Amino acid sequence: MMFYDVIVVGGGHAGAEAAAASARMGSSVLLITMNLHTIGEMSCNPSIGGIATGQIVREIDALGGFSGIIADHTMIQFRMLNRSKGPAMWSPRAQLDRLRFSDNWRMVLESIPNISFCQDSVVELLILNEKVYGVKTMLGVEIKSKAVILTNGTFLNGFIHIGEKKISGGRISEKSTTGLSSQLKSLGFDVGRMKTGTSPRVDGRSLNYSEMVEQPGDDYPKKFSYLDTPPLVNQYSCYITYTSEKVHEILRSGFDRSPNFNGSINSKGPRYCPSIEDKIYRFSDRARHQIFAEPEGLNTTEVYVNGFSTSLPQEFQFDALHQIPGFEQAKILKPGYAIEYDYFSPLQLNHSLETKKIKNLFFSGQINGTTGYEVAAAQGLIAGINAHLKIHGKAPFVLLRNEAYIGVLIDDLVTKGTDEPYRMFTARAEYRILLRQDNADERLTPSAIDLGLVENNRLKKLEEKLNKVEKCVSYLNREIRTLNKITQPTRIATLLSRPEISYEDLFFLPEIKEYGKYNKLKEEEWQQVSILIKYKAYIEREREMAINLIRLEKIRLPKFFDYKKIQALSVEAQEKLNTHFPSSIGQASRISGISPSDINTLLIYMKR
């Protein structure tokens, strides 16, 4: 009988990162997927990153994940979003070559010696004494392991809807998995249903781009990885067009045949990533909605119609699309569809992503009720790390809310749960001045070194950067100059702290330019210097606030305890605590319905 340290079920973004992380830390890993040719498949948009999620990709890279590196190798367009909103909000986003991205993932995984692969479908978990010890596949094979990570995505009891058509499947033309959900349900897990949707794909040769507005990539494209991945040279453009009343009319005429409206789908979809019919229905005062035509890759004519996610019958999709400027002659390759699938309320997880009920069993990705490649990959990485740590008897690796968006993500999931597909926003983070895309390496790479996920060259690079930045900041704090209109001799750092002065303006001073050249300061490093000086007060304030958070985070709560015994707690708090069993006072304070005075009471009871 085969035996592994860790079995990863599923080969999407979560599964791939999980397998890589466990294996690189030293575990023997088996990756089981239904199709070895769809590893790292992008089921929806051919793009990665974006606001808040771009920061997550940077964090994954800093922690030793591969999503950023592979994105860098396969991108066909790069844009830094939110450039005008201040550096704390800068968010990298890239269009990728869908096929090459998936290919690259497979090559990366195959290059890691202690990962084995198997094309099969897991239908049952092997469990003894509330601990998982392996899996059973559709072919009846039992494979043993010390830990199992489930990353089934939308495949658990997946049902695809196109109009009245209902097809069992996890992606279009791919089979779904049955059995696993019902076993987990019988073990006492809370199983729910969610839905999401995707847009039609069209043939780029049939589009009239002159009717649309070109959206090119950045003039100076950046990257996701902190390593020396190749720079992007040839960029492809996206194109923007709009729906119209005419389009809405056609779509509306199909509403009674839409699974979203005729009652065949009751599960919740993402509010912020609604289908086109949802947008028309909910915001009827809007005369038009934005549509993006996104190229799928270098060697394909396929184009993704972003903004037009739909589950209407094909003929309505086609008729409506043809009314959109630039799409008059569009040939449709694949229709849009809605998909319903099983998810498990993430309230059933610890911060390590291990389930509370079954030991050594980890969940990550869409089965936790999330949406997006980046948050799936991040969860996979964390689950992969923690599965390895767990079977080696080590304490779990948990990121706090002030350390990473990944920390915010996981804490939100396991503390508040979610009843709609969870998407990350910067608004979810309390300390977003600290959680910037430019400092993910500083925040996370030291941990990656400790975990053994990355080589020491990463640390060397980081230390070099920090050194140069620190030296430059103290240099600017020392030197006193006048600049342009400011005739009063002033500390250069003080000059730079003015909103209207950028670090480039300092280059009017020849010695500053010289200093930069002599010390080989790169653009990113000047950026850092500028942020540290301009944002000093804000960074300090958020650090102070975070210190209070950490204190509360360190006061642990017992795993099982009857909170009804504490009469001073409000009834709502007693009930919430008795169902959630938060791991710390800090986590308890973020559960809705638990008030500051409940927290005071808890503090008095729990801290010894």
Partner 1 sequence: MLDKDTIVALATSDGHGAIAVIRISGSEAFSTLSNIFRPLKKVNTKERITLGFILDKEERVDQVIVTSFKAPKSYTGENLIEVSCHGSPYIYRRILHLLIKTGIRMANPGEFTMRAFLNRKMDLAQAEAVSDLIASESQVDYKLALTQFEGETYKNIKVLRRKFIDFASIIEISIDFSEENVERPNYSKLSTFLLQAKEHIQHLLNSFHLGNAIKEGIQVVIIGGPNVGKSTLLNSLVKYDRAIVSDIPGTTRDFIEETIFFNGIRLRLIDTAGIRHTKENIETIGIQLTYDKVSNAQVILYLFDAMHYNTTKILKEFSNIDRKFSINIIIIANKYDVSSKKLFLNELAGKYYNISAKNKEGIDELLENIYNLLDKRYFKSNTVILNVRHLELLKKTLSTVNNIYYGIEQGSTDDLIASDIRKALYFLGKISGEITTNDLLVNIFSKFCIGK
Distance separating alpha carbons of residues 547 and 326, to the nearest angstrom: 54
Distance separating alpha carbons of residues 205 and 295, to the nearest angstrom: 11
Q: Which of 325, 323, 375, 297 minimizes the C-alpha distance to 52?
A: 375
Tell me how far, at minimum, the Cβ of 72 lies from partner 1, in Å. Answer: 21
Tell me how far, at minimum, the Cβ of 422 lies from partner 1, in Å. Answer: 11
Decide whether 85 or 165 has the Cβ nearer to partner 1: 85
- The DSSP symbol for 77 reads E
Q: Is 122 annotated as a binding residue?
A: yes
Q: Is 269 annotated as a binding residue?
A: yes
Q: Is 94 annotated as a binding residue?
A: no
Q: Is 282 annotated as a binding residue?
A: yes
Name the site residues for partner 1 (rule: CB under 8 A).
Answer: 50-52, 81-82, 84-89, 270-274, 279, 282-283, 286, 289-290, 292, 306-307, 309, 425-428, 430, 432-433, 499-500, 535, 538, 541-542, 548, 551-552, 566-568, 590, 592, 595-597, 599-601, 603-605, 607-608
Q: Measured in whole angstroms, how far is the alpha carbon of residue 101 from the centre of its chain?
A: 16
Tell me how far, at minimum, the Cβ of 279 lies from partner 1, in Å. Answer: 6
Tell me how far, at minimum, the Cβ of 130 lies from partner 1, in Å. Answer: 30
Tell me how far, at minimum, the Cβ of 32 lies from partner 1, in Å. Answer: 33
Decide whether 191 or 603 has the Cβ nearer to partner 1: 603
Tell me how far, at minimum, the Cβ of 447 lies from partner 1, in Å. Answer: 25
Q: Is 222 annotated as a binding residue?
A: no
Decide whether 117 or 281 has the Cβ nearer to partner 1: 281
- DSSP element (H, E) containing 389: helix 373-391
Q: Is 213 annotated as a binding residue?
A: no
Distance separating alpha carbons of residues 180 and 148, to the nearest angstrom: 13
Q: Is 272 annotated as a binding residue?
A: yes
Tell me how far, at minimum, the Cβ of 297 lies from partner 1, in Å. Answer: 20
In sequence order, what are the residues at sequence separation of 6 or more whose Cβ sits closer than 8 angstroms to the Cβ of residue 382? 352, 353, 364, 397, 399, 406, 410
Q: Is 280 annotated as a binding residue?
A: yes
Paired strand residues for 147: 6
- DSSP element (H, E) containing 165: strand 165-168
Q: Is 13 annotated as a binding residue?
A: yes
Q: Are 337 and 197 in contact (CB under 8 A)?
A: yes
Q: Is 372 annotated as a binding residue?
A: no
Q: What are the start-end ranges of the E strands in 39-137?
A: 47-49, 75-81, 91-96, 115-119, 122-128, 131-137
Tell me how far, at minimum, the Cβ of 388 lies from partner 1, in Å. Answer: 33
Tell me how far, at minimum, the Cβ of 91 lies from partner 1, in Å. Answer: 9
Decide whether 51 or 506 has the Cβ nearer to partner 1: 51
In what side-by-side order are the strands of the sheet with 191-198? 165-168, 159-162, 337-344, 191-198
Decide whether 118 or 273 has the Cβ nearer to partner 1: 273
Decide whether 135 or 429 has the Cβ nearer to partner 1: 429
Q: Is 11 annotated as a binding residue?
A: yes
Decide whether 123 or 599 has the Cβ nearer to partner 1: 599
Q: Are 338 and 265 in contact (CB under 8 A)?
A: yes
Decide whether 28 or 497 has the Cβ nearer to partner 1: 497
Q: Are 326 and 209 in contact (CB under 8 A)?
A: yes
Retrieve residue 446's tokens.
């030291």
Q: Which of 356, 375, 371 minimizes the C-alpha distance to 154?
A: 371
Tell me how far, at minimum, the Cβ of 60 lies from partner 1, in Å. Answer: 20
Q: Is 437 annotated as a binding residue?
A: no
Return the number of other C-beta atoms located less than 10 Å from residue 404's C-beta.
Answer: 27
Decide whether 290 or 329 has the Cβ nearer to partner 1: 290
Distance separating alpha carbons of residues 222 and 267, to the nearest angstrom: 39
Decide whether 441 or 542 has the Cβ nearer to partner 1: 542
Three-state secondary structure call for residue 274: coil
HEC letters along 166-191: EEECCECCECCECCHHHHHHHCCCCE
Q: Are 591 and 576 in contact (CB under 8 A)?
A: yes
Q: Measured in whole angstroms, how far is the alpha carbon of residue 149 from the centre of its chain?
A: 18
Q: Which residues are annotated binding-site positions?
A: 10-15, 122, 177, 269-283, 366
Q: Which residues are annotated binding-site positions for FAD?
A: 10-15, 122, 177, 366
Q: Which residues are annotated binding-site positions for NAD(+)?
A: 269-283
